């Protein structure tokens, strides 16, 4: 087997294992703390530090990966996730809001170290491969990750029922520890490590295309989370009267479907790019295709159409188009990056991604409380339009430098 392909498969396998625990721990916390009497909004607030520390981690993580190597940062992320899982196995009277938020902060740091390392590694491992191969590899990695995160929702719920809260956490921690040991043994050291030690000031990109893409990414992911994180599950639970299991199951299936679409985007767009990767024009086009969808859902709800049908079908359509947008962005950040600065570029880009998620999460609760789901959907539309306008400055990858 080609060594680059082998290393890509090992990185992907480690990323898959981590992602399953990431989805499972989120579902475990949501379900268990709901059983303890927390409201859906209070449960959602437990994840604020998870998102906030993602910003910090991506800002520092890319610089750290360039100095010590992407393998080491990926393994540090896995080890921190094991610790975060074990932290939650304490007795119930220890599980205060601040304690759980601290555990989620650690999990958020672990997640973004792992994600940044895995995605930047693809560029380093692919080397001088063609644009179409890089697009295919990063779409498969990202899409399969999202599908498995949805699978993690199911696994978390199933383990909670079969083994209880602490048994589920212990099982996940043991499995991830085993994967950590295996990837340490199989991967070569020094992937993504720069030959010269970069200064901390170098974390900010001097490539304008990366800066524009990062700004567009902020608003793209804000547009999803502004209605998906708090407003949607609370609406399904309180207004439509869905059970908690139905809410969690539907969101898990949506994430799985979103991931499957994301992984197949290179095939979907292959004819329009003639074997090449997409450029800035693709990001602009698909953002404008996405913008009317949340607005249409809001208008249909305002006109009194059946809310359950409108929301479910609207979310499916939104997820399909959003997956294409996300896959194009994920390719472009690697295509725009220099080989020796890929870790820092990806870290800076995912800092913006985390910032958008945090902003969306906070606005999701605030807007739903003040204006309902429709208010969150109109905010989503404005966020997507902003992402589209920022995409006007995105060049073709070969003109980014």
Query: pLDDT by residue (tens digit) across 12-34?
Result: 888 889 999 998 898 888 778 87
Average pLDDT over residues 126-139: 67
At residue 343 the predicted structure's pLDDT band, cuts being 50, 70 and 90, is low
At residue 276 the predicted structure's pLDDT band, cuts being 50, 70 and 90, is low
Count how many residues are written for the chain. Answer: 401
Q: Average the pLDDT over each of 17-31, 132-146, 371-385 and give the range with the smallest value.
A: 132-146
Q: What's the pLDDT at 291?
A: 97
> Residue 189: helix, strand or coil by DSSP?
coil
pLDDT over 90 (residue 187) = no
CA-wise closest residue to 152 among 92, 107, 97: 107
Greatest mean pLDDT among 113-127, 133-147, 297-311: 297-311
Whole-number Å distance between alpha carbons of 210 and 202: 13
* Domain spans of the chain, in order of start: 3-399
pLDDT over 70 (residue 156) = yes
**CA distances from residue 142 to 148, 220, 254, 394 in whole angstroms, order as listed:** 10, 16, 15, 21
Tokens at 344, concatenated: 């820092």
Question: Which is higher by pLDDT, 293 or 101?
Answer: 293
Whole-number Å distance between alpha carbons of 358 and 335: 26
Q: What's the pLDDT at 299?
A: 98
- At residue 229, what are phi and psi to the nearest 5 degrees? -75, -50
* Residue 102, Cβ density class (10 Å: 0-12 exposed, 13-18 middle, ≥19 buried): middle
CA-wise closest residue to 230 among 38, 384, 363, 33: 363
CATH code given to domain 3-399: 1.20.1250.20
């Amino acid at each position: 087997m080609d060594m680059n392909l082998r290393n890509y498969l090992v990185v992907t396998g480690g990323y898959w294992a981590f992602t399953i625990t990431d989805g499972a721990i989120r579902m475990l916390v949501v379900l268990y703390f709901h059983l303890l009497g927390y409201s859906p909004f209070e449960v959602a607030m437990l994840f604020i530090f998870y998102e906030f520390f993602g910003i910090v981690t991506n800002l520092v993580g890319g610089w750290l990966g360039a100095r010590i190597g992407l393998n080491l940062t990926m393994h540090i992320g896995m080890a921190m996730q094991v610790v975060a899982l074990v932290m939650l196995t304490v007795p119930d009277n220890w599980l205060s809001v601040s304690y759980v938020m601290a555990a989620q902060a650690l999990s958020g740091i672990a997640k973004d170290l792992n994600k940044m390392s895995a995605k930047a590694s693809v560029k380093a491992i692919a080397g001088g491969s063609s644009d179409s191969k890089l697009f295919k590899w990063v779409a498969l990695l990202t899409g399969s990750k999202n599908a498995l995160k949805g699978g993690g929702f199911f696994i978390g719920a199933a383990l909670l029922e079969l083994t209880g809260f602490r048994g589920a956490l212990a099982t996940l921690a043991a499995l991830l520890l085993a994967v950590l040991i295996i990837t340490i043994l199989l991967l070569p050291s020094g992937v993504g490590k720069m030959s010269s030690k970069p200064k901390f000031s170098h974390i900010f990109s001097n490539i304008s295309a990366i800066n524009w893409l990062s700004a567009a990414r902020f608003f793209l992911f804000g547009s999803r989370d502004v209605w998906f994180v708090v407003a949607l599950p609370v609406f399904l639970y309180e207004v439509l009267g869905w059970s908690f299991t139905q809410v969690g199951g539907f969101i898990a299936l949506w994430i799985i479907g979103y991931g499957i679409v994301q992984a197949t985007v290179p095939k979907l767009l292959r004819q329009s790019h003639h074997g090449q990767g997409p450029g800035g024009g693709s990001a602009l086009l698909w953002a404008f295709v996405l913008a009317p969808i949340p607005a249409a859902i809001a208008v249909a709800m305002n006109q009194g159409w059946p809310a359950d049908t409108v929301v479910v079908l609207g979310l499916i359509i939104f997820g399909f188009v959003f997956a294409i947008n996300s896959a194009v962005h994920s390719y472009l950040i690697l295509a725009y990056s220099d080989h020796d600065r890929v870790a820092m570029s990806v870290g800076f880009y995912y800092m913006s991604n985390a910032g958008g998620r945090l902003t969306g999460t906070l606005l999701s609760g605030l807007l739903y409380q003040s204006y309902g789901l429709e208010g969150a959907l109109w905010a989503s539309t404005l966020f997507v339009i902003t992402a589209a306008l920022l995409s006007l400055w995105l060049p073709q990858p070969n003109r980014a430098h």
